[in-house]
Structure 1
Amino acid sequence: MKKSLWLFLSLVLMVIISGCSSEANSESKDKDTLTIAWLPNESGADLTEARDEIGIMIEEKTGKKVEHQTTTDYIVAIEAIANGNADMAFLGAQGYIEAHNKNEKVLPLAVPSGESGTLDDAVYYSWLAVEKDKAADYQNGDEFAIDNIQGKKFSFVSNSSTSGFKVPSTGIVDYFSKKDEFADLTAEDLLEGGSEQFFSEVLYGGSHQGSAVNLLSGKADVAAFCDTCVNNYVELVEGEENRPGAVYKVKEDAAEPFHTVAGKEFTLISVTPVLNAPFVINTETIDEDLQSELLGIMTSDELAANEKVFVPEESEFSGLFKKTGDERMVEVNDEWFNPIRELSN
């Protein structure tokens, strides 16, 4: 009798599970709106057209309506894709890892390639910058060094930012922990400032643009931010692009938030390559057929040729990515981001 009852209950449970699974798949298949979440760096009004271009292409190819969820906080975008409030998101590598840790159904779809059109050079650059007239304070002979950043006012982007926290904090710890007085230094020690801390004050810009403005407005002595997020607002005026010693100037007609620091110049004192940021999807809310459609759209020649997404060098348009060669979106898997994961080990 007990065995028969157990078998009956097991069958009922299987039916319920199967029904829930079918319902979830049906909801995904019948989904008529796709929500794309954007980090603060890509949420500005100056990038509205670029965001819309991707949305329009998805709408035309899938028949789904696209809604853009812009944010002012990294955590909002990460939580949105992890909990299913967004179906797709453009996150940094660290943001993706955090979202995947919260929900393993969040997976990468594609990343912008390097100039070669492949993953081989799919990198951007994490900068440590200072105001130009203070650059000599961070030189050791003819070379730039970060020894004198200790005790300064420092601006990060967000502790969920790859190039605005994870990479620079790891680099700072690796460099200073070789010195006896900082042998026990950890990334956590850099999160807050104070008289007994590594930095006298620690600020967070909330976006790469915000961190750069913290530097140029005098709130910070040193700031971490990346090249791709400020390229639309600055121009190289001295030195070699993405190399220590390079000097950049904020364009006179720069959009917010740089309009308050137009004409200001800064110097790079440290430059580190970083894995490109992925577009990610929540595979719980998007079925396999739609996943395949989205991958095809994102990696298409059509998107690669869209000059509002991949902007030609000579163009003044504020797009998402620069087109200097064969740049395009390319498929990527979870394992590709392991080098960023290893920074936490």
Structure 2
Amino acid sequence: MRKLYFPGLIIALAVFLLAGCGSSSNAPSNSATVKEPDTITIAWLPNNSGENEKELRAEIDNVIAKATGKKVEDKLTTDYAIAIAALENGDAQLGWFGPNEYLVSHAKNPKIIPLVVESGDSGTLKDALYHSRFLVKKGNEAQYKSGDSYGIDNITGKRISFVSTSSTSGFNMPAAAIMSYFSKQDKWKHLTKDDLAQGGSGKFFSQVIFAGSHQLSLVSLLTDKVDVAAVDDIDVSQYVELAQGSDNAPGAVYTVKKDAAAPFNNLAGKQFVVIKSIPVLNTPIEANSAVLSQKTLDAITQALTSDQVTNDPKIFAPKGAKGAVFVQPHRFVKVDDAWYDPMRKVLGIGA
């Protein structure tokens, strides 16, 4: 069995993170003549538009409103493309999207820039990572195991659930890992992301569905609609608990909590197993700097990286807290576009 982690990204991330955090600026400073809207709108992906994250969104809105003196409202969505387009066209001025979504938008328009990301336990960018994972239902994991190791050798011909073609950890990183691993085989040496997005006879997967969110991708697995699911760790962590193994490591077993909220409220006790885990640079809170002045961008960045926000339990909740997205002892850390160069290289996006 080959290595279970995606070596290209591991090496790229290690080299880059050890070298530092990139350049000191996101983009050329905005002109003072930028005409800003009276209301700042934040676009949220479907994963973060649910009722369970309402308090978090409201608290972040309050922080930004206080820092800028502007009204702040949320744009909640059920579709990745709608949220991303809102930021790109200026209907929303801020968004919290995955690295792939950010890189694609920035390649189209360099005025789309990252402001901050959630740190790791160190409180710095050194461990600002989350994970994209291939999951299978507990009881089916043996077919993906060889000796003491798990892998993706036997996912061909299976039914799989992805999140969205725009999703970093719910499609693009899993697709990159599959292409890297299977391109060494003659049958799959010309495999593309488009191939992986379509199932059927003669295809890599027998069936492919796009669930629309990480939560629903996991639900598809647990309700036997698919054999394998691509699901990140952060968007489902509040609904599940580690039952066996090391967090996010291949072989780790998770159980849906008894008091899990919808869409897991009828799935308590169901279990799944990680067969592959891929590190991903943390998701940025990003801005359309064409419609926000540098003064406003600086005010937002300063507020989000403040000790006040770091110590706010409505934003950085204790680990394991119900509904938690951002967790202690993490904090928001300022970031720039260059920090995402390792992801840009792996995903082949932009220059």
The letter of the residue matching 2:33 is N
**Structure 1 runs not aligned, ≥5 long:** 1-20
Larger RCO, structures 1/2 (Cα 8 Å, 6+ apart): 2
* Superposition map of 1:174-323 within 5 A: 174-313=180-319, 316-323=321-328
CA–CA separation in structure 2 for the residues paired with 1:333 and 1:33:
25
CA deviation vs aligned residue, 1:77-114 (integer Å, no higher than 9, x gap): 11000000001000100111122233221111010011
Q: Is the contact between residue 127 and residue 271 of structure 1 (CA under 8 Å) also seen in structure 2? A: yes
**Structure 2 runs not aligned, ≥5 long:** 1-29
Name whichever of 225-234 and 258-267 sits farther off.
258-267
SS at match of 2:255: strand
When normalised by structure 1's length, the TM-score is 0.89
Q: CA RMSD in A?
A: 1.5
The letter of the residue matching 1:331 is K
Aligned to 1:342: 345
- Superposed displacement of residue 26, structure 1: 5.5
Aligned to 1:56: 62
CA–CA separation in structure 1 for the residues paired with 2:319 and 2:89:
38
Q: Is the contact between residue 34 and residue 290 of structure 2 (CA under 8 Å) also seen in structure 1? A: no
CA deviation vs aligned residue, 1:147-186 (integer Å, no higher than 9, x gap): 1100000111111111111111111111111122222222
CA–CA separation in structure 2 for the residues paired with 1:206 and 1:276:
20
Paired-residue identity, %: 47
CA–CA separation in structure 2 for the residues paired with 1:204 and 1:218:
15
SS at match of 1:35: strand
Aligned to 1:18: none
- Superposed displacement of residue 255, structure 1: 1.1
Aligned to 2:33: 25
Corresponding residue pairs, total = 319
Q: Which has the larger radius of gyration?
A: 1
Q: Is the contact between residue 173 and residue 347 of structure 2 (CA under 8 Å) also seen in structure 1? A: no
Q: Does 1:108 align with 2:123?
A: no
Aligned to 1:125: 131
The letter of the residue matching 2:281 is L
Aligned to 2:27: none
- Superposed displacement of residue 236, structure 1: 0.5
The letter of the residue matching 1:25 is T
Q: Is the contact between residue 249 and residue 274 of structure 2 (CA under 8 Å) also seen in structure 1? A: yes
CA–CA separation in structure 2 for the residues paired with 1:335 and 1:321:
23
- Superposed displacement of residue 137, structure 1: 0.9
- Superposed displacement of residue 252, structure 1: 1.6
Aligned to 1:72: 78
Equivalent of 1:333, from 322, 332, 336? 336
Q: Is the contact between residue 164 and residue 226 of structure 1 (CA under 8 Å) also seen in structure 2? A: yes
Q: Is the contact between residue 308 and residue 317 of structure 1 (CA under 8 Å) also seen in structure 2? A: no
The letter of the residue matching 1:318 is G
The letter of the residue matching 1:294 is I
SS at match of 1:339: helix
Q: Does 1:143 align with 2:149?
A: yes
Name whichever of 177-186 and 329-338 sits farther off.
177-186
- Superposed displacement of residue 288, structure 1: 1.1
CA deviation vs aligned residue, 1:109-131 (integer Å, no higher than 9, x gap): 01001110111110001110000
Q: Is the contact between residue 87 and residue 94 of structure 2 (CA under 8 Å) also seen in structure 1? A: yes
Q: Is the contact between residue 254 and residue 262 of structure 1 (CA under 8 Å) also seen in structure 2? A: yes
Q: Is the contact between residue 308 and residue 318 of structure 1 (CA under 8 Å) also seen in structure 2? A: no
Q: Is the contact between residue 238 and residue 325 of structure 2 (CA under 8 Å) also seen in structure 1? A: no
Q: Is the contact between residue 190 and residue 199 of structure 1 (CA under 8 Å) also seen in structure 2? A: yes
CA deviation vs aligned residue, 1:248-282 (integer Å, no higher than 9, x gap): 01112111111232221000000111000000011
* Superposition map of 1:82-93 within 5 A: 82-93=88-99
